[in-house]
Amino acid sequence: MKIGMRTPSLTKSLRARTTGRATRAVKRAIIPGYGKKGMGWIKDPKRAARNAVYRRTTFSVWDLFKK
């Protein structure tokens, strides 16, 4: 498991900011429970646990500017 600063990726951050809105709207209309808080724990608890630990042990470049 990684600890410390995440490697910045310009392409991934740009894609995350531009791709999502329409896709999320469609999935929210079709899939019941999509986008609701805690659904990751129901769908795949092992993955959700791993992501929770990763989120707490790493930080972004942008987090350095927030403080």
pLDDT tens over the chain, length 67 residues? 789 999 899 999 888 888 888 888 899 999 988 888 888 899 899 999 999 999 999 998 888 888 6
**Is residue 39 in some structural domain?**
yes
Spatial distance between the Cα atoms of 60 and 39, rounded to a whole number of angstroms: 25
Into how many domains does the chain fold? 1
Q: Which domain holds residue 44?
A: 9-61
Is the residue at 50 inside a domain?
Answer: yes
| pLDDT for res 64 | 87
**Kind and range of the H or E element at 12?**
helix 10-18
- How much is the pLDDT for 44? 93
Contact by Cβ (8 Å): 55, 44? no
- In the chain, beta strands by DSSP E: 4-5, 58-59
Maximum Cα interatomic distance, the chain, rounded to a whole number of Å = 39
